[in-house]
Structure 1
Amino acid sequence: MNTMDGNLRELYQEVIFDHNRQPRNFHDMPEADRHADGHNPLCGDQLTVYLRVKDDMIEDVSFVGHGCAISTASASLMTEAVKGKTVAEVEALFKDFHALLTDIPPERDFGKLAVLTGVREFPARVKCATLAWHTLHNALIGEHTPAQTE
């Protein structure tokens, strides 16, 4: 690994650690008009995603729960990435983000979400990184069965 790759990996790890230690939008949302639960039985991650949607726009989003560093950081980064976007934009981002971690990623600027690309190297951890996204999707479509990554 060259120095540039090592520096980038360290930066990505620091962003993940920061979002795990101090997750953004980590709180209940009593005024939510949509919510869904998610569970990853493989490593015990559990979370609830809350949404407030107005005029087809994600007006507010939050989550609560517990999980590994990857799961928590991904949920935190997800909330920042989707706030203010339309439901269609969020669904497209979910699809592209999933492809980023599991398949051939589309040409797109993932912003801070790019810090999770290293998870591709660890297939078992992809489930941790995508749990919040599957849960968000369930909240958007009104699915009340808990999202699972198994």
Structure 2
Amino acid sequence: MSFNNLDTLYRQVIMDHYKNPRNKGAIEEDSITVDMNNPTCGDRIHLTMKIEDGKVVNAKFDGEGCSISMASASMMTQAVKGLEVEKAIKLSHIFYDMMLGKDYDEDELDLGDIEALQGVAKFPARIKCATLAWKAMEKGCQAEE
């Protein structure tokens, strides 16, 4: 597949998550709540997570922001559901490496749709948009420990 086709595919995945977010909403009962914002661009996220026996059993988000921020939140909630807290945090670190253009172990954890965000590394000002939800998830996981 040529670079242009791959770039187009990645844009379609990002826009799909932005227009049709997965796990939008809030978990009402016994949930961890994390609110974060990016004052530079106005992105904000309200993340709720349910963690039981060291595993993320549910994650939902609400918020407002650019397509990258909201698509990343959608992808993150999908990716961490069912993961042990330790693996969710590890996935977050892999994601940060990808955002910084560093090499990352693609075989360690399946990135799925998250790989569509790798192009953000070319736009340093947008990295904070992409990582906002991930930082919120890490904060929520650490609150549970």
Alignment TM class, shorter chain as reference: over 0.9
- 2:115 is aligned to 114
1:18-59 deviation per Cα after TM superposition (whole angstroms, max 9, x unaligned): 100111000011124211111011110011111111111111
Q: How does 1:80-119 map to 2 (within 5 A)?
A: 80-108=78-106, 109-119=110-120
For the residue of structure 1 that corresponds to 2:82, the secondary structure is coil
- 2:63 is aligned to 65
Alpha-carbon distance between aligned partners in 1 of 2:96 and 2:30, rounded to the nearest angstrom:
25
For the residue of structure 1 that corresponds to 2:99, the secondary structure is helix
For the residue of structure 1 that corresponds to 2:103, the secondary structure is coil
Q: TM-score, normalised by structure 1?
A: 0.90
Shift of 1:125: 0.3
> Where does structure 1 differ by over 6 angstroms across 4 or more consecutive aligned residues?
none
Q: How many residues of Structure 1 are paired with residues of Structure 2 in the alignment?
A: 141
Alpha-carbon distance between aligned partners in 1 of 2:73 and 2:122, rounded to the nearest angstrom:
19
Do the aligned residues in 2 keep the contact of 1:32 with 1:50 (CA within 8 Å)? Answer: no
Q: Percent identity?
A: 39
Shift of 1:105: 2.6
Shift of 1:11: 0.5
Do the aligned residues in 1 keep the contact of 2:45 with 2:133 (CA within 8 Å)? Answer: yes
For the residue of structure 2 that corresponds to 1:142, the secondary structure is helix
Q: TM-score, normalised by structure 2?
A: 0.93
Alpha-carbon distance between aligned partners in 1 of 2:47 and 2:31, rounded to the nearest angstrom:
11
CA pair 32-69 structure 1, distance change in 2 beyond 3 A: farther
- 1:4 is aligned to 2
- 2:33 is aligned to 35
Do the aligned residues in 2 keep the contact of 1:50 with 1:62 (CA within 8 Å)? Answer: yes
Do the aligned residues in 2 keep the contact of 1:47 with 1:63 (CA within 8 Å)? Answer: yes
How large is the RMSD of aligned CA atoms in angstroms?
1.4
Alpha-carbon distance between aligned partners in 2 of 1:53 and 1:39, rounded to the nearest angstrom:
23
In structure 2, runs of 5+ residues without a counterpart are none
